[in-house]
Chain A
Amino acid sequence: MMNWLLPTQMLGGAIEAAINQALAKNINTRVPIEQLAGKHLKIHIDEIGVPITIGFSQSTAYVLTDDVESDCTISTSLKTLAELKQSQQLTELIKQEKLDIQGDLKTAQQFAQVFEQLTIDWQSEIAKHIGDVATYRLSQAFGFVQEKADFAKQQISEDFSQWLVYEKKLAVNNVEIQHFKNDVNQVSQRVNGLMQRLTKLDQQINFTKE
């Protein structure tokens, strides 16, 4: 039944729409899209199983889900693809054999560069739909929720530490660590004193023999 809905074509269409939406909403005018004109990047993703070829024409992207010729072919997994956002990581990922690139490496870098530089002003985009005031309030609410979430995260972390130290006695607190350090220092000093006394005694014994 799912095949009736042509899932491969649906995926291709969704990727194409997402890229074109991102391009349309991009506010960074220095994204070098024109350098990709006529170039094709094919991506084989382990989890998906069909090749996805991305091309650009007149600043618009198109996606083919056929095994077409391409300037560069990347074989990888979804997890690694997420790391590809930073083009500097290409070499590192190839070394780790998480990524296989056939063809023109420069093409892969140019595509990565374009996707990395896309910048979307989310506040402006939301404001187009719900208005400036609502967007301002929404972003304030979002900031408030984020602040609360950070605080909650910190609190949970501290409470968990307390629970480990005082309830379960699985970890020690700072005072105990300090006491332990002091005890170790004292033992160290006593050992040093003992060593000096032993050295002195040794010298006295040698002097008496002579």
Chain B
Amino acid sequence: MASNDQSSQNDNTTHFGYKTVEAENKASMVADVFHSVAAQYDVMNDLMSFGIHRLWKRFTIDASGVRPGNKVLDLAGGTGDLTAKFSQIVGKDGQIILADINSSMLNVGRDKLRDRGLVQNIEYVQANAEFLPFEDNTFDIITIAFGLRNVTDKDKALRSMYRVLKPGGRLLVLEFSKPEHEILNKAYDFYSFNILPKMGELVAKDGESYQYLAESIRMHPDQDTLENMMKSAGFEQTTYKNLTGGIVALHKGYKF
């Protein structure tokens, strides 16, 4: 599989689901998808994953080794599920930055967290993962959950994350991946391409966005490819753990 979206194409094109589009247009096309689904994002996540996305995120928190006082960047943090938990754990001496390229998602996340009374240690930043607006060596932990596959240039984004991590810091990438067993793969394909867009149509009134979701998952690098991409960006001691049969994988790497 390609090491990034662009290497299998010419220099100016990339994937948008199964479509090939101009690289400079992808960010705005992805933005349109998430502007469209932002309001129903949490409901759809629960429906599509039967609630298991909460367990995947909980696993990520456990694997992050987060401690009170840590500074955490929740990249592509969307509606703030990871941020909420991190905020509790790092306490008043720590800090969480919830960053997302999409203003609609960021607004939904900010409203949700404020409604839950989580205000003391959270900041909100609208940022592109490829050009993180932070100084070098800033964060103890960076997480990106279900966001990397939407990034136009993943290698560039990984290098950007590496730059802003402190030495000793770690990156956790939670993302859809390739199921380990062929039977599961086929069942998953059927579910993704036949049921998921219909669910999107019914609940979020937007079947096309969920068609993109299914396609973007298939176009995302598999477990080993993503691990190699992390190594190429400079990360060390990289590992990954398949969750729910490889439907999702959690990649982890350190900066030393």
A residues with CB within 8 A of B: 4-6, 8-10, 12-13, 37-38, 55, 57-58, 60, 62, 64-66, 68-69
Stretch at the interface among B50-58, B162-170, B193-201: B50-58
What per-residue 1/0 map shows which CB atoms of B223-256 lie under 8 Å from chain A?
A: 0000000000000000000011100000000000
Chain A min CB distance to B46 (Å):
13
In the complex, besides A13-B58, A57-B88, 17 extra interface pairs with C-beta distance below 8 angstroms are A4-B243, A5-B244, A6-B56, A6-B58, A6-B59, A6-B244, A38-B68, A38-B91, A57-B89, A58-B88, A60-B88, A62-B85, A62-B89, A64-B61, A65-B58, A66-B62, A68-B67
Alpha-carbon separation in the docked complex, A37 to B68 (Å): 11
Is there an interface contact between A69 and B59, defined as CB atoms closer than 8 Å?
A: no
Contacts of B91 in A (CB 8 A): 37-38, 57
Residues of A within 8 A of B120 (CB): 58
A38-B91, A55-B88, A64-B62 as given contacts; A13 in contact with B55, CB under 8 Å: yes
Chain B interface, >50% SS class: helix
Whether A69 pairs with B67 at a CB distance below 8 angstroms is yes
A68 to B58, CA, bound (A): 14
B residues at A contact (CB < 8 Å): 52, 54-56, 58-59, 61-63, 65, 67-68, 85, 87-89, 91-92, 117-118, 120, 243-245
Q: Verify B55–A66 contact, CB threshold 8 A.
A: no
Residues of chain A with a CB closer than 8 A to B92's CB: 38
Across-interface contacts of B68 in A (CB, < 8 A): 38
CB distance from B256 to the nearest CB of A (A): 21
Chain A to chain B: the 6 pairs with minimum beta-carbon distance, closest first: A57-B88, A66-B62, A9-B58, A6-B55, A9-B55, A4-B244
Interface core residue of B62, B63, B118 (most chain A CB under 10 Å): B62
* B118 cross-chain contacts in A, Cβ below 8 A: 58
- B residues near A57, Cβ cutoff 8 Å: 87-89, 91
B56: chain A residues at CB < 8 Å are 6
How many angstroms between the C-alpha atoms of A60 and B89 in the bound complex?
11
Q: In the bound complex, how far is the Cα of B87 from the Cα of A60, in angstroms?
A: 12
Whole-angstrom distance from the CB of B248 to the nearest CB of chain A? Answer: 10
Contact A9 B62 (CB under 8 A): yes
Checking B58, B65, B88 against A12 with a beta-carbon cut-off of 8 angstroms, the contacting residue is B58
Residues of B near A6 (CB, < 8 A) are 52, 55-56, 58-59, 243-244
A57 to B117, CA, bound (A): 11
B88/A68 in contact, CB under 8 A: no
Which residue of the partner chain A has the closest CB to B91?
A38
Q: Mind listing 30 A-B residue pairs with CB under 8 Å?
A: A4-B243, A4-B245, A5-B52, A6-B52, A6-B55, A6-B58, A6-B244, A9-B55, A9-B62, A10-B55, A12-B58, A12-B62, A13-B54, A57-B88, A57-B91, A58-B117, A58-B118, A58-B120, A60-B88, A62-B85, A62-B89, A64-B62, A64-B89, A65-B58, A65-B62, A66-B62, A66-B63, A68-B65, A68-B67, A69-B67
**Measured between alpha carbons, how far is A153 from B244 in the docked complex, in Å?**
49
**A126-B173 Cα distance, complex, nearest whole Å:** 43
The answer to whether residues A55 and B58 also contact, given A4-B245, A6-B243, A69-B67 and a CB cut-off of 8 A, is: no
Q: How far is the CB of B196 from chain A (nearest CB, A)?
A: 19
- Which of B58, B85, B87, B120 is packed against the most chain A CB atoms within 10 Å? B58
Specify which chain B residues have a CB less than 8 angstroms from the CB of A60 in the assembled complex: 88
Bound state CA distance, A55 and B85, in angstroms?
11
| Nearest CB in chain A: distance from B121 CB, A | 10
What A residues does B67 contact at CB under 8 A? 68-69
The minimal Cβ–Cβ distance linking A14 to chain B, given in whole angstroms, is: 11
Minimal beta-carbon separation of B77 from chain A (angstroms):
18
Q: State the CA gap A5–B58 with chains docked (Å).
A: 12
A62 in contact with B55 (CB, 8 Å)? no
How far apart are A152's CB and chain B's nearest CB, in angstroms?
42
Give complex CA distance A161, B117 in Å. Answer: 61
Instruction: State A68–B245 Cα separation when bound (angstroms).
Output: 26
Kindly list chain B residues whose C-beta atoms are within 8 Å of the C-beta of A66.
Answer: 62-63, 65
A55 contact from B55, B89, B245, Cβ within 8 A? B89
